[in-house]
């Protein structure tokens, strides 16, 4: 499980069940296990500090490079 944080203010945004070892380029909405402080607006997802974190692509958020950090463990693909 990964905790996604804003790179600007370190606010915890959501928890994400990342599969595989690749980079976090997008977050599939179905695998977001808990929304914390993120705000959905204008077809995007933002941190409460105003920093834009991702763009709504329907089933996933396309993550904006350098807008976020994460910590935690990725889950190996079965
Ligand atoms: Zn922030």
- Long-range CB contacts (< 8 A, 24+ apart) of 41-46? 45/13
- Note whether residue 77 is domain-resident: no
- Note whether residue 22 is domain-resident: yes
**Å from CA of 2 to ligand 1 middle:** 17
Q: Report how far residue 5's alpha carbon sits from residue 24's, in angstroms, rounded to the nearest whole number.
A: 12
- Note whether residue 78 is domain-resident: no
**Å from CA of 74 to ligand 1 middle:** 23
A 10 A CB-CB count for 60 gives 17
Q: Structurally, how many domains does the chain consist of?
A: 1
- Note whether residue 68 is domain-resident: yes
pLDDT interval class at 74 (50, 70, 90) = confident
**Structural domain harbouring 40:** 2-72
**Å from CA of 7 to ligand 1 middle:** 7
Q: Specify the higher pLDDT residue, 77 or 72.
A: 72
- pLDDT tens profile 1-57: 999 999 999 999 999 999 998 999 999 999 999 999 999 999 999 999 999 999 999
- Note whether residue 28 is domain-resident: yes
- Note whether residue 44 is domain-resident: yes
């Amino acid at each position: 499980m990964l905790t996604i944080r804003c790179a600007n203010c370190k606010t915890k945004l959501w928890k994400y069940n990342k599969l595989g070892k690749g980079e976090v380029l997008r977050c599939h909405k179905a695998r977001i296990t808990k929304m914390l402080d993120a705000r959905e607006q204008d077809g995007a997802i933002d941190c409460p500090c105003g920093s834009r974190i991702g763009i709504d692509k329907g089933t996933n958020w396309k993550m904006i490079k350098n807008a976020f950090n994460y910590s935690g463990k990725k889950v190996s693909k079965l």
